[in-house]
Structure 1
Amino acid sequence: MTEKSVVESSSLHRSELHTSISDPVLDTMNFLNEITLRYPEAISFAPGRPYDGFFETDEVLAHLRRYLDHLADRGASPAQVRTAVYQYGPTAGQIREIIADSLRRDEGIDVPPESIVVTVGAQEAMLLVVRALIRDPRDVLLVSSPCYVGITGVARLLDVTLRAVPEPAEGFSPADLDAAIRAERAARRRPRAFYLVPDHANPSGSTLSAAARAELLELAARENVLILEDTPYRLVSPSEPLPTLKALDRRRSVVHLGSYSKTIFPGARVGFAVADQTVTGDDGRTGLLADELAKIKSMVTVNTSSLSQAVVAGALLAAGGRVSELNAKAAGHYGDAMRRVLDRLAERLPEARRAELGVRWNEPSGGFFLSLSVDFEADDAALVRSAEQFGVIWTPMRYFHPDGGGRRAIRLSVSYLSPEEIDEGITRLLAFVADQTGRHRAGRGRRR
């Protein structure tokens, strides 16, 4: 057999691969990374990542040392301490007690450590929970739309039917979820869970009100639908947060998804799921949903890095379990960055000019993101032009709409830029918006 024939026989066609690979949602992050690399001088409002200025390399070693000392203080032998860092460790995680203590202190979430599974970021937690809950093609995962692309990607990878529940500009309404649940059941499908980010959501920046939280919990219990609560931005925001849905949960209707990527550091890739729901087997024996998630995890990532868990645990121990205190300075910085972006938008786009261009934006009280509505198609082509000709990068909101919406809106991230970059970035952004709006309207006029 010739070398050429060997190469040809090993060639694959994309149509032979899983359909999710051809789904545009799986290309979104790669496309943004490509644009960032192609235009390194552009100011980017795209990355939803923490500000680098708060990271000190030496702290990683201090956190690790703190955790090792903790183990020794609790009676672990040198061999046991070595194993805790170097070996795989238990699938469900080796720092569950420390996480449970932190959740009690910081969030008022009182659950046994056994109900926690430590994951490779919140992304793996989403995958584990969705895989466990969705049993057959009739089962449906409901999501607030716009939503984080990670949950959309999980649904695509697992061949899960996704139903978007549109979130209006004024914020998510439980009544809309109620209607969606009824519509799915009328179509002989089974709504299993509803995913949302109730605090400073990615991408919209919206926060669920106290009244809506109570109404949502009542709805979930009544309709036997689990809530998947994702909470990455609560403790990096300057205002006093409302209680988590899990802290208010009295009927085990909420699976709480957490991450230390924004609060400690993203390179650790440590997250967790709180899954205290009871699962009963055919033999009548009961366990926790967390046990089932651990079974799935054992075949996905085996365990979360023991070294990463050790560093995160050390940080939690050093802060007395209070992530909110650990992040007080960072939360203030992100709050200032959000205020600066909103102030610059208001200064440079007075109401009359705003109305003339058809531009609107929301005003989140915290988190990393806000949404800007425009009067043109905010697609990939517009993004490339913005980066190339105006030196500013943003994220198309359509990436976050599994229902096909968001075509005339952009997401701005405030977390990663200095004050000077924000000022210059807003100047560039508004120059692009004005120019692109004019081009769009001129083209529309020619077509008439």
Structure 2
Amino acid sequence: MTVTPVQEQPPLQRTPLLRTSLHAGIVDPEMDSMRLLSETAMKFPEALSFSSGAPYDGNHDLANLSHYVERYLRHLRDQGVPEQRITRLLFQYGPVNGFIQDEVARMLRHDEGIEVSAESIMITHGFQEATLVALRGLFASPDDVLLSVSPAYVGIRGAARMLDIPVKGIVEGPNGLEPEAVAAAARAVRATGKRPRALYLVPDFSNPSGTVVPLEARQRLLEVAADEGLTILEDNPYGLFARDGEKMPTLKSLDTRGDVIYLGSFAKSAFPGARLGYLVADQEVTGEDGSRRTLAQELSKAKAMFSVGSSSLSQAAIGGILVENDYDLTSATRELAAVYQERLAASLDALAEHFPPERYAEHQVRWNVPRGGFFLTVEVGFEADLAAMERSARDFGVSWAPMSMFYLDGGGDRALRLGFSNLTPAAIREGIARLARFIESEAGA
């Protein structure tokens, strides 16, 4: 039998994709800042890193992981939940909005004075999914504009960019976002024929600046929201870490009209690796047929398309933490808060040692003085961009984050953010000594 040889086929020539053919949110170089920071940290592993806001990881214990899951399962059994249902809850796809809403509602009541039903809560994959869900639900028209504090956490700008939502930045003052600036921004947007739809801010220890909005300004912000028809997106990852006696009421706890959607996270307070957050949207939504549901229930349609549901194991672990601590995360995080306060104090002391305020004319370095949180900002006399940060990491062994990446409409070119949350006081002192040498070098150049 004659075998016909198989002819070799020429290799398939693939036509490369053009970057310009991708979505604007992918092409936009401003969306790449966090990746560049991470790559710089990997490129210079010996450098002390002030560039991230990673939570303290010295209190993690692998034994606690199974303990908290078991604690939550015991909680379900104590409530009379059948074993078959518990098994299905842990192993199968769960409800889109999650199954620990009751526990989160009890925590919010205890810690924040926020009174909402379980049906008003959605369990999410951290802040980022909560933001995507909220923005997708609220922004129905291309003429809707998001107002945001500036500088702001890059995640809010990224979420808006991916959803093609225009953002107008409002530069904050020394005490955070100022209500009259919000009112002026809303009027300016409306004058262009567009509608200011929502306002984003972090009232407590804002990322990146560390500012705290005073009580009077919080009350006035709620008045402005009512007057201008704004929904406030209140992001609160750091509020538990205030000094004793200095904790401020959240905007949501002060909200009597339903103008605030509350975005929370367990990453900083309980379990970073669980990647769980939550959205509180208790606003009532009326259907064409007269039905009434909470906004959180309506927004489940968006979550179902983004992630279908949140991890059952992560929810069980977080649920166990809440039950174990009697829904009191404020008390449960006192030791953790003390760690962050110690690190903040170490950062401020080291800066004052290397850059005495009375010699500002000589060194041109000054900084703000937050009373909590994970970050502070430092003004310098040169352009503190990503190229400067790479020189700092490569030649001086210390990295940080350029403040310019957090501004929405330009600014922060001569400032940097220091994240001190995951560095020991000794590492902070050494890191700021290295930073001082870098700043001196840049000034000389």
Q: How does the TM-score come out when normalised to structure 2?
A: 0.96
In structure 1, runs of 5+ residues without a counterpart are 440-448
- Equivalent residue runs for 1:68-147 within 5 Å: 68-147=73-152
Task: Please give the alpha-carbon distance, in whole angstroms, between the structure 1 residues aligned to 2:65 and 2:185.
Answer: 46
SS, match of residue 75 in structure 1: coil
1:298 and 2:304 aligned: yes
Q: 2:293 aligns with which of 281, 287, 294?
A: 287
- What amino acid maps onto 1:112 in structure 2? S
Q: 1:188 aligns with which of 188, 193, 211?
A: 193
**Higher deviation after alignment, 310-319 or 238-247:** 238-247
1:403 and 2:409 aligned: yes
Q: CA deviation at 1:3?
A: 6.8
Task: Please give the alpha-carbon distance, in whole angstroms, between the structure 1 residues aligned to 2:291 and 2:89.
Answer: 31
In structure 2, runs of 5+ residues without a counterpart are 1-6
Task: Please give the alpha-carbon distance, in whole angstroms, between the structure 1 residues aligned to 2:9 and 2:212.
Answer: 59
CA RMSD of superposed structures (Å): 1.4
Aligned twin of 2:30: 25
Task: Please give the alpha-carbon distance, in whole angstroms, between the structure 2 residues aligned to 1:238 and 1:36.
Answer: 31
Task: Please give the alpha-carbon distance, in whole angstroms, between the structure 1 residues aligned to 2:32 and 2:11.
Answer: 31
When the two structures are aligned, how many residues end up with a matched partner?
Answer: 438
User: Contact 2:112–2:249 at 8 Å: present in 1 too?
Assistant: yes
CA, structure 1 residues 389+295, in 2 after alignment: closer, same or farther (shift >3 Å)? same
Q: 1:367 aligns with which of 368, 373, 381?
A: 373
Aligned twin of 2:354: 348
Task: Please give the alpha-carbon distance, in whole angstroms, between the structure 2 residues aligned to 1:163 and 1:2.
Answer: 58
| 1:105-160 C-alpha deviation (Å, 9 max, x unpaired) | 11100001100000000110000000111112100011000001000000110010
1:234 and 2:227 aligned: no
Q: 2:173 aligns with which of 163, 168, 177?
A: 168
1:259 and 2:265 aligned: yes
Task: Please give the alpha-carbon distance, in whole angstroms, between the structure 1 residues aligned to 2:159 and 2:142.
Answer: 15
Task: Please give the alpha-carbon distance, in whole angstroms, between the structure 2 residues aligned to 1:21 and 1:322.
Answer: 41
Q: CA deviation at 1:68?
A: 0.4
Deviation >4 Å, runs of 4+: 1-5
Q: CA deviation at 1:354?
A: 2.5
User: Contact 2:175–2:212 at 8 Å: present in 1 too?
Assistant: no
CA, structure 1 residues 210+170, in 2 after alignment: closer, same or farther (shift >3 Å)? closer
CA, structure 1 residues 404+69, in 2 after alignment: closer, same or farther (shift >3 Å)? same
- What amino acid maps onto 2:208 in structure 1? P
- What amino acid maps onto 2:293 in structure 1? G
User: Contact 2:208–2:417 at 8 Å: present in 1 too?
Assistant: yes
- Equivalent residue runs for 1:289-328 within 5 Å: 289-328=295-334
Q: CA deviation at 1:376?
A: 0.9
User: Contact 1:238–1:334 at 8 Å: present in 2 too?
Assistant: no
User: Contact 1:25–1:149 at 8 Å: present in 2 too?
Assistant: no
- What amino acid maps onto 1:330 in structure 2? L
Aligned twin of 1:444: none
- What amino acid maps onto 1:167 in structure 2? E
Aligned twin of 1:212: 217
User: Contact 2:222–2:251 at 8 Å: present in 1 too?
Assistant: yes
User: Contact 1:230–1:257 at 8 Å: present in 2 too?
Assistant: yes
